[in-house]
Structure 1
């Protein structure tokens, strides 16, 4: 009997944990993995995901629309019938965009309605900054696990679309301190040690909440930084040629997913130097349709059981960090994957 292809071999890190492709574990040991983190990693710290953030903003700025949004179940689709009889036409348009999950568009529409702008110190951005206030929330264990996995051997590098500073807080004891970069200041991807730090590709809130931070928040922001200035896609294209990108904390319908990797997937059929992309995604039961949905986007899914507030994801990342060898060097205090991969 022939042995299984390395493309199909997966490793179980423990009972109840996600099984991870062997090729990804080996790539991480060589320092060739770059984690990209979404809003899901900050929910254990009490921060909202994108949908919840939109609802929170409306609670402060438009209570009539909020009363409609708050009554919608999570996961509704564009077939859902919403009673908007008490709303204006502009408010109704925002609700309909919310129902289909276009949260970036919703915030842009709200900004234009309230402030006639989608940049600067708008009411929407002030509320977003207040809701994600850097001084209130503390990092969760998943932030610390990811910062351990971000070690490429001589450099810690991790990418996030989150505005919060919890990854930085999780690494405060690291010496020398981990640098923070946002948007245009982010270093160009390379395998050198100067490509390091917490890289906020959608911007980061300033530790002083009274100071304005440039954020990729609305549909116009995505157009600015993805299409016109191309700050984010150029970064992702370069990173995808050097590293295996691993997504953590995203759902398939998150707005960043529509912009972040769809174009990279299209390039995969034309350029053979693109690395394989992976995502951790949680379901409470096997879901072959979701698996195929991710694969259809050019991303290899790693499923875990989402029951128990996604405990299996945290336990998997912590175990991976515990066992990991960085650039082939075994950690002194634990055994590496050598025993598992034989």
Structure 2
């Protein structure tokens, strides 16, 4: 019953075991999941919220309050439930808006379990839009969003209009079947928790597949590229040593496609900039970059 909450708790921990997770639910399901998996964390309950910056936040934030274990009128009165509560939290007292603004200013955020018209999402994105109008530059926001077959383009436009990039999963027309989301979170958490072994398992699972069979709903080529990019080189060695030898189509198709853009440079290089073994191999170069105030980086 707590598998999805346990998966989110694992996914929200970085390699240093720092937890950064925000929920707008009032229930205590995360505490029950943590007890089941023997995971410990600190909880912040509204309106006493942390400052969401890298060095100051480690725990689970109940942005709209949390139900107390025992009857407690003070805790119940702090729950953000009614329109008046939202107005106080985001517009008048603005403690929730300040938290959300700092959150989007300092972190890449991924929404899980929100619909495009969710009032909570609207309040959050309105607070973010106000900051952007003042010239604030914020990292990309993402959302795991449901989508009926054939509606991908429309859904993408709706999400992007809110300043959020969607990662769509399919829901059969007329149903409320979100099993694809739950299965994705569980598989993602299992791979993430297993670290190198999880990435090597991806190589084992897909090395002998034809990369042309990869689809938007089952993008195993993307998973393979992610696994092979591990800085340890162990998943790549696993692929190189694979027996029988994987199809040449991996080299001719999947590995030769231009999957990444300039905006991905920071994501790929951030892990290596402090590594004395850093070597940069420029396989393609159209010409020199235009003259700007770039910090020099030699290879």
Higher relative contact order (CA 8 A, sep 6+): 1
Instruction: Identify the residue that residue 96 of structure 2 maps to in structure 1.
Output: 232
**Distance in 1 between residues matched to 2:183 and 2:37, nearest whole Å:** 22
Aligned runs of 1:216-295 on 2, under 5 Å?
216-268=80-132, 270-271=134-135, 273-287=137-151, 288-295=153-160
Instruction: Identify the residue that residue 208 of structure 1 maps to in structure 2.
Output: 70
Per-residue displacement from partner, 1:173-203 (whole Å, max 9, x unpaired)?
56662122111222111112x5122211111
**Distance in 1 between residues matched to 2:51 and 2:72, nearest whole Å:** 30
Q: RMSD between aligned alpha carbons? A: 2.4
Q: Is the 8 A contact 2:147 2:155 kept in 1?
A: no
Query: Mind listing any 5+ residue stretches in structure 2 that lack a counterpart?
Result: 203-222, 229-299
**Distance in 1 between residues matched to 2:111 and 2:191, nearest whole Å:** 20
TM-score by length of 2: 0.60
**Distance in 1 between residues matched to 2:2 and 2:146, nearest whole Å:** 18
Q: Is 1:298 equivalent to 2:163 in the alignment?
A: yes
**Distance in 1 between residues matched to 2:139 and 2:161, nearest whole Å:** 16
Helix, strand or coil for the counterpart of 1:222?
helix
Helix, strand or coil for the counterpart of 1:185?
coil
Helix, strand or coil for the counterpart of 1:184?
coil
Shift of 1:273: 3.4
Q: Is 1:322 equivalent to 2:187 in the alignment?
A: no
Q: Is the 8 A contact 2:2 2:32 kept in 1?
A: no
Shift of 1:160: 0.7
Instruction: Identify the residue that residue 10 of structure 1 maps to in structure 2.
Output: none
Q: Which has the larger radius of gyration?
A: 2
**Distance in 2 between residues matched to 1:203 and 1:210, nearest whole Å:** 12
Q: Is 1:169 equivalent to 2:28 in the alignment?
A: no
Shift of 1:331: 2.1
Shift of 1:222: 0.9
Q: Is the 8 A contact 1:172 1:178 kept in 2?
A: no
Instruction: Identify the residue that residue 235 of structure 2 maps to in structure 1.
Output: none
